[in-house]
Amino acid sequence: MRIAVVSDSHGSWREAEQALAALKPLDLLLFAGDYYRDPWRWAQREKVRVAAVIGNCDWGARGPEEELLELGGTRILLTHGHRYGAKWGLERLLFRGLEAGVKAVVFGHTHVPVATYGEGGLLLFNPGSPSHPRGGNGGSIGLLEVERGLITPRLYKIDELKARRAGQSAAKIHFDDRDEMSYNI
């Protein structure tokens, strides 16, 4: 199962849309909040299912703050992260994931891409922001490939995905000096 992950588009969906085109085919889009309305028109046009949550900038939007998902035999928690202090550390997100019995917590809020593992091999995954990046990383989105309990997370720079669409190769964001991380949990 190929799952695109986007967060914090803040009304600027065009960057995400261009990058998502380079990741096709997709089975699902996870949207981790801040402009909850952004992914729906694209998903309808592309015939891709969406699971989305609201974030701290989704004033008046009606949507869930959290979603517990069963995807490819794997339980994933989708949340924005602001209620768990994501800007100040990942501990509360880790504890929430352990409490929920999931294999991965997908979150946003910080606008900084993260793919790391905590206690029990729990994946903490933030795609960053496609249009309002922080931390000097440039715009980014994520991809989770889920198969038989194996989650392979990937983080991509928007500019590199655009280059892929133009026929050049796209590099993944490196984390821990590896191109990608897989963890059988």
| Confidence at residue 1, expressed as pLDDT on a 0 to 100 scale | 96
Q: Which two tokens stand for residue 111?
A: 């606008």
Tokens 């194996």 locate to 150
User: How does pLDDT run across 31-69, given as a tens digit for each residue?
Assistant: 999 988 889 888 999 999 999 999 998 888 899 999 999
126 touches 32 (CB < 8 A): yes
**Paired tokens of 97:** 């994931």
Per-residue pLDDT of 63-75, as tens digits, reads 999 999 999 889 9
Radius of gyration of the chain (CA): 15
User: Taking the domains of the chain in order of start, what are their residue ranges?
Assistant: 2-184
Q: What superfamily would CATH give domain 2-184?
A: Metallo-dependent phosphatases (3.60.21.10)
Please state the rounded mean pLDDT for residues 133-155: 92
On the question of pLDDT at 121 being above 90, the answer is yes
Which of 181, 143, 151 minimizes the C-alpha distance to 48?
143
CA distance 127 to 143: 8
pLDDT, tens digit (0-9, with 9 covering 90-100), for 82-114: 999 999 999 999 999 999 999 999 999 999 999
Strands 140-147 and 150-157: antiparallel
Dump pLDDT digits (tens) for 11-22: 888 889 999 999
Alpha-helical runs (H) found in 104-169? 158-165
A 10 A CB-CB count for 92 gives 14
